[in-house]
Structure 1
Amino acid sequence: MRYLKRLARNMLRPLNFVLLFMMYVSLQSSLAFYNWAIAISDRAKMRGRTKEAEELWKQAAEKYEKAVQLNWNSPQALNNWGLALQALNNWGLALQELSAIVPIREKKTIVRTAISKFRAAIQLQFDFHRAIYNLGTVLYALAEDTFRAGRQDNAKEQSPSELYSQSAIYIACAHALKPTYSVYLSALKLVRSMLPLPYLKVGFLTAPPAENLIAPHKNWERSQFVLNHEGLQQITRTDQKQLLQMPYGRSEESENLEKSLIKVDVPDILSVSTCADLTLPPGAGLCIDTVQGPVFLVADTWESLDGWIDAIRLVYTIYARGKSEVLASTITA
């Protein structure tokens, strides 16, 4: 028996070595493609708004894609991939005027791909403020594009006002994480008025009764929720106007109201994730795991769910980094 165990260990050692060697080669190859992409990007920047620059940005995006394929756990490569896609549309890092080189529909396809790369980078590193800021700028550009087009391609697409508001959320969070960055502060001054002040995010979610979080589907209702630096809170239709005019949980009336509504305080959050549970009502499921237990909610669409998950995670990350006061000053000042 001992002989068999020793033989098994000896057989596994070469395999482990091969696997480790393959991982090493993959990481080195990823780094090579990453550096290659950076070199191409530098050349593209020198070419300005030319056809040659467009081709170079395409090549850079391809190299970043290869780098990510070889090492998916690289938020910087994902972020740079998104930037290359932005540059491909001549949008750049600043909130610049959109180029007319690329057709509108193709632009939207490219920019939505860029959004997915920035979002993936943030999911790997929640406090990656550059990716957070870049996501805000690309959403702003998409809002501008949609506004200038004067129409949406389909009813499910977000309106310009929704995109502007989302853009402001990411820029505000990037500033909260790095308040000393002048670029973030300048951008925040531009978009702050697009936030649903005194909150960071306001929107609709389908929720169970607060007193019975596992209630039957028929008892779940679509209602409005607000999010700020302190937490996520449900509000009733009757009290929407009243609550939207005061800071989170400040008045006696709102404190009494909270007893019968869902409320999640930021310090209590353990994790935030999507939830494809068949026991939930139809829609995009959201699970907020807290020290008191999980809270399940349902967003109207999966795109809307992405916005809620990002916002809640970012608020928690800002709290964990000790920067809640910076965010509070942004939305309540």
Structure 2
Amino acid sequence: MAATGPESPKAVTSPRDSENASTSAGKWIHYGGVEIRTRLGGENGAFDGQDRMLSMRADRHKDAASRDPDDFDALYSWALVLQEQAERAEAKGADASRRSDLLAKACARYDAAHRCRPRSHSTLYNWGIALGDRARMSADAPTARQLWGEACDKYRAAVECDVAKTQSTQALNNWGLALQQLATVSRERDEKRRRLLAAVGRFREAIRRDPSFHRAVYNLGTIMYALSEMARSTGGGGGGGPGGGGRRKRNADADAEDDDSDSDADADDSDDGSDDGGSHSGGDDAHGVGAESAPRTPAALQTAAATYICCAQASPGARPVYASSLRLVRRCLPAPALRAGTLLASPPSLPTATSGCWRERRFVLDHEAFWTAPGEGGDDDADDDADDADDRRGLGPLGSWASVPRPTPARGFADADPNDATTTTTTTAPASSGGTRWGVHVNMEDVVSVQPCADASLPRPGHGFRVGLRDGRGHFFVARSEAEREGWVDALTLTRALVCGGRGDALRRELANAGRASQ
């Protein structure tokens, strides 16, 4: 499956420099009020005006750092220029040793800047990019593993610095990409799978913080596809594969308030990022990452991959590679729905759900709503399709339960593969005397939040999530496994973001295409 290529980091020239500079041979450029003529007839690898400006800026920052070794701005800006020089050298086909030397110097400057301002998010983030660039250049597998591990450490520290969780989406995405690269250079299959599952948690947290970040959505889809290929070859979970995403340097301006911090955000447990492959449940662990869980069967993993890639393709700014990747897995979608499966739910109108009220229902999520599929599961009387359609139309925002006779207890799921998110076996309990049909129908435009939750009062197995509505109400649902719960939360979160962003029709078109492809 093709992956998106990384974006080039933001240029480090100032707006004035960018406005007046020209890299075409024979042109005049202006720098500091002085006219400088670029080299005539420049060849590949030759210095041009932009290179000269970068060299002058590097010298200026070097002089400032020499005068004051604790000048954070000088050290940080110097590192940015060195990194930009390395990227330009790569684009012009310069010798690899020169690029490696520039990146090593940039890392040294980031290290010095980090000591001046330990909680600078942008320093740690850009340092991680430089380490990743060095790892990509390394032909030695142990060295590459070490550098990718160090990059993971820097991204993790950057995420930990972002207490407000407003700046770290890109860091989480790049952390996931670094873990994915660690998986490709890992020697053991179990280690590869562990790295990929760790990457799942980073991409998942990125999209929970910013559901419109389509690169992380797509990357999560490629991870699921890679795991499906590993599962197909071994009969169990695992895999490895390419991911995509973007890299973007951050501005140091946002870090000005961190000057007085004396805590070291770069405290790590290992030098090779090995602890990044561990399992975390939920999104509230010490590193602020999402659940590192995924379905285990190839079919369920490919369905998950199709779900994420479909949402990425429906997003504004979707890249061509999303469409080509979606063609590989589109047939796995439960078209015309985005996701379908069995959940435990209680009647929406009950103020308190008692243990005997929970029922299995088959739920469907499409571009408009999250709703109970007609005629699936539950303790209903015999009915026909017309009654089912009438029930759905009459459910209202959160369904209805006209009378509340105590239903036959049906706590928990029927026997099924707990690791397969596509299993839809349901339990049918006998109808209670005077029982009333009920279901859930939630318009996505009314949803304000979707959160996983752990509550001892929820029925077994307790993998619950809550859908919060605009009017303050909400409803709990219980999945049969953590992987299934996280899949529902992701799908609902992404669908809500698309609908609220005016992309509901785009999602509808992609699902319609999937329906035609599966015929």
Counterpart of 1:294 in structure 2 is 474
Partner Cα separation in structure 2 for residue 199 and residue 184 of structure 1 = 19
Out of 257, 263, 267, the position equivalent to 2:445 is 267
Counterpart of 1:127 in structure 2 is 212
Counterpart of 1:220 in structure 2 is 358
CA shift, 1:317, in A, is 0.0
Q: 5 Å matches for 1:123-162?
A: 123-152=208-237, 158-162=296-300
8 Å CA contact 2:224–2:304 kept in 1: the answer is: yes
Out of 491, 497, 501, the position equivalent to 1:317 is 497
* Structure whose CA Rg is larger: 2
Out of 125, 133, 149, the position equivalent to 1:58 is 149
Change (3 A) 1:52 1:267: same
- 1:45 partner letter: R
8 Å CA contact 1:31–1:67 kept in 2: the answer is: yes
Residue deviations 1:213-244, cap 9 Å, x none?
Answer: 6342212112211111111111255599xxxx
Residue deviations 1:147-202, cap 9 Å, x none?
Answer: 1112359xx96211111111111111111113641011111111111111111001
3-state secondary structure, aligned to 1:329: helix
- 1:115 partner letter: V
Partner Cα separation in structure 1 for residue 308 and residue 130 of structure 2 = 29
Out of 345, 348, 356, the position equivalent to 1:207 is 345
Gaps of 5+ in 2: 1-115, 239-293, 379-384, 395-437, 514-519
- 1:221 partner letter: R
Partner Cα separation in structure 2 for residue 115 and residue 205 of structure 1 = 23
Partner Cα separation in structure 2 for residue 238 and residue 32 of structure 1 = 53
8 Å CA contact 1:213–1:295 kept in 2: the answer is: no
Partner Cα separation in structure 2 for residue 213 and residue 158 of structure 1 = 36
Counterpart of 2:71 in structure 1 is none
CA shift, 1:277, in A, is 3.6
Change (3 A) 1:215 1:180: closer
Counterpart of 1:82 in structure 2 is 176
Residue deviations 1:296-319, cap 9 Å, x none?
Answer: 211112222111111101000001
Out of 305, 317, 321, the position equivalent to 2:485 is 305
3-state secondary structure, aligned to 2:314: helix
- Cα RMSD (Å): 2.5
8 Å CA contact 2:124–2:157 kept in 1: the answer is: yes
Partner Cα separation in structure 2 for residue 111 and residue 129 of structure 1 = 19
Identity fraction in percent? 35
What is the aligned length? 288
Partner Cα separation in structure 1 for residue 374 and residue 318 of structure 2 = 38
- 1:39 partner letter: A
Partner Cα separation in structure 2 for residue 46 and residue 178 of structure 1 = 33
Structure-2-length-normalised TM-score: 0.52
8 Å CA contact 2:227–2:237 kept in 1: the answer is: no
- 1:126 partner letter: P
Residue deviations 1:51-71, cap 9 Å, x none?
Answer: 432332222112212222222
- 2:451 partner letter: S
Partner Cα separation in structure 2 for residue 304 and residue 148 of structure 1 = 22
Gaps of 5+ in 1: 1-23, 91-98, 241-250
8 Å CA contact 1:223–1:237 kept in 2: the answer is: no
3-state secondary structure, aligned to 2:448: strand
Counterpart of 2:202 in structure 1 is 117
8 Å CA contact 1:201–1:226 kept in 2: the answer is: yes
- 1:225 partner letter: F
3-state secondary structure, aligned to 1:317: helix
Partner Cα separation in structure 2 for residue 224 and residue 108 of structure 1 = 31
Change (3 A) 1:39 1:268: same
